[in-house]
């Protein structure tokens, strides 16, 4: 029996709003309010000038946002599983629109950081339920294809961010990279209709507030420890994180409806799979950290051209994700596709490690595309494995876990990759340090593929 859907608004084409393609497009449009935040990176110099900041201060524009949404993802995924994914998603769109307006009107740097935290809450509300909504539209038999489409849309937002950011900042200054997303959120909110109705609320199915607080505290302090890896304060953050996670595990072990069942984490290969996701994303994010600095050293590249070249990495993921979604289950298992994706990330990074100032642009783009294809295949396959491993009623938590490991990888990369590069550059030229850093990143991606290959049977058995 087809699932019930929300009533259509009057005087609106029923067929249009009940079309799966339309609904998925509107979910992707809403998700873009978060994914297009890559446009902010291009505006960093303008923000620095606008508030008279040092270059070191600008990192908090990223930290406040990432810490907030990453720490809330799992908790809000469980809220979506409890009260309904569509409700949480729509609240997220409204919240995001208001927060983006506030950030764009920030009267001071302190106010901007506070509003960025509010924006992070909106992003967490939207992202925590996006995967669950898309997969609910297609059903379990077409889950892989749905995840391929959703992964493609996520990568498409990342690709457009740098391209739009440069143009918007040039014309309207830094506030534009925030306010241009307000109409996107509003459009998705108004046009998103006909989603499957949430299952009836079951007696005793309540959100574990105490467990949620412990989880958020553990994630916030862990991310701060990663960010402060070169400082002694990282030790205190790590200890506090360990204590909070211990309290979370103790609480969830006794909870009638835990945020995430501890038994799931004990499935053969499941914990290793999530660790591999962190490693693969850590290796891949080195592209976004170091390639922009390399491109500024190449004569003849304007800012627009450099942004277009960098966007090729995300373009590879846009190309690969929907194709991978059609392959899983019919021609290849999700586990083997994840292995192939991690290996392709390593191959692309090796191509980058051979760059010189004389390397043709076509070869530069080819290396970035190969890396992007690998990342798109890996993220798709990983998403499919995780959503299959968790119960259907925990689909919000599954989608949030995928995004959380991705975020942990990028945050760790921001600390470790830059630290390794700076250490290497103390004794070598920029180009030599660039080559060696990407060789190490490639080895990390290959190691991730090797770990998956070693444990693939256990993962598949789970």
How far lies 198's CA from each of 3, 5, 28, 81, in Å?
10, 9, 20, 9
pLDDT at 11: 44
Domain 260-462 of CATH type 1.10.260.40: no
13-193 and 260-462 agree in CATH topology: yes
Whether the per-residue pLDDT at 327 is higher than 90: the answer is: no
C-alpha to C-alpha distance for 265 and 242, rounded to whole angstroms: 17
C-alpha to C-alpha distance for 140 and 146, rounded to whole angstroms: 9
To the nearest whole percent, how much of the chain has pLDDT over 70?
85
* Mean model confidence pLDDT for the chain: 80
Whether the per-residue pLDDT at 368 is higher than 80: the answer is: yes
pLDDT at 165: 79
pLDDT at 443: 95
* pLDDT tens string 269-303: 777 888 888 899 899 988 877 887 787 777 777 66
pLDDT at 1: 37
pLDDT at 2: 40
For Cα atoms 149, 85, 164, give the angle at the middle one, nearest 5 degrees. 50
Whether the per-residue pLDDT at 214 is higher than 60: the answer is: yes
What's the burial of 173, exposed, middle or buried (CB within 10 Å: 0-12/13-18/19+)? middle
To the nearest whole percent, how much of the chain has pLDDT over 90?
22
Would you tell me how many other CB atoms lie within 10 Å of the CB of residue 442? 22
* pLDDT tens string 100-132: 999 999 999 999 999 999 999 999 999 888 878
CATH number for the domain formed by residue range(s) 13-193 = 1.20.1250.20
pTM reported for the whole predicted model: 0.78
User: Could you tell me the residue ranges of all domains in the chain?
Assistant: 13-193, 208-258, 260-462
For 149-217, the DSSP string reads HHHHHHHHHHHHHHHHHHHHHHHH-TTHHHHTTHHHHHHHHHH---PBPPPPPPTT----HHHHHHHHH
Q: If pLDDT is split at 50, 70 and 90, which confidence band does 459 have? A: very low
Helix (H) or strand (E) run with residue 407 in it: helix 395-427
């Amino acid at each position: 029996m087809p699932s019930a859907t929300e009533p259509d608004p009057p005087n609106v084409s029923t067929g249009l709003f009940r079309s799966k393609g339309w609904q998925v497009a509107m979910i992707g449009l809403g998700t873009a309010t978060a994914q297009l935040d890559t446009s902010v990176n291009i505006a960093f110099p303008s923000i620095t000038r606008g508030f008279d900041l040092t270059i070191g201060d600008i990192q908090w524009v990223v930290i406040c946002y990432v810490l907030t949404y990453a720490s809330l993802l799992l908790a809000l995924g469980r809220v979506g599983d409890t009260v309904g994914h569509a409700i949480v998603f729509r609240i997220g769109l409204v919240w995001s629109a208001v927060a983006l307006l506030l950030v764009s009107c920030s009267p001071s740097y302190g106010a901007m950081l506070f509003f960025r935290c509010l924006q992070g809450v909106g992003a967490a509300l939207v992202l925590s339920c996006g995967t669950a909504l898309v997969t609910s539209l297609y059903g379990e038999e077409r889950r892989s294809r749905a995840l391929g489409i959703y992964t493609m849309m996520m990568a498409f937002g990342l690709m457009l961010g740098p391209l739009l950011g440069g143009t918007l900042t040039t014309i309207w200054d830094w506030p534009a990279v925030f306010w241009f997303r307000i109409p996107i959120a509003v459009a998705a909110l108004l046009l998103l209709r006909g989603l499957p109705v949430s299952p009836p609320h079951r007696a005793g199915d309540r959100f574990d507030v105490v467990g949620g607080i412990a989880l958020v505290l553990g994630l916030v302090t862990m991310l701060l420890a990663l960010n402060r890896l070169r400082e002694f304060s990282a030790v205190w953050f790590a200890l506090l994180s360990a204590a909070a996670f211990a309290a979370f595990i103790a609480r969830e072990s006794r909870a009638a409806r835990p945020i995430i069942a501890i038994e799931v984490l004990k499935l053969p290969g499941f914990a290793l799979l999530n660790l591999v996701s962190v490693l693969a994303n850590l290796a891949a994010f080195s592209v976004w950290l170091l390639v922009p600095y390399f491109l500024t050293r190449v004569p003849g590249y304007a800012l627009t051209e450099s942004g277009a070249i960098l966007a090729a990495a995300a373009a590879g993921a846009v190309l690969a994700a929907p194709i991978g979604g059609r392959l899983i289950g019919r021609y290849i298992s999700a586990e083997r596709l994840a292995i192939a994706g991690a290996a392709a990330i390593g191959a692309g990074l090796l191509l980058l490690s051979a760059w010189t100032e004389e390397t043709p642009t076509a070869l530069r783009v080819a290396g970035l595309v190969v890396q992007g294809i690998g990342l798109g295949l890996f993220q798709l396959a990983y998403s499919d494995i995780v959503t299959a491993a968790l119960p259907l009623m925990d689909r919000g938590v599954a989608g949030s876990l995928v995004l959380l490991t991705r975020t942990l990888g990028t945050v760790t990369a921001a600390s470790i990759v830059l630290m390794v590069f700076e250490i290497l550059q103390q004794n070598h030229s920029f180009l030599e340090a660039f080559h060696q850093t990407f060789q190490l990143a490639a080895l990390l991606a290959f190691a991730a593929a090797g770990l998956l290959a070693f444990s693939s049977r256990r993962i598949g058995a789970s």
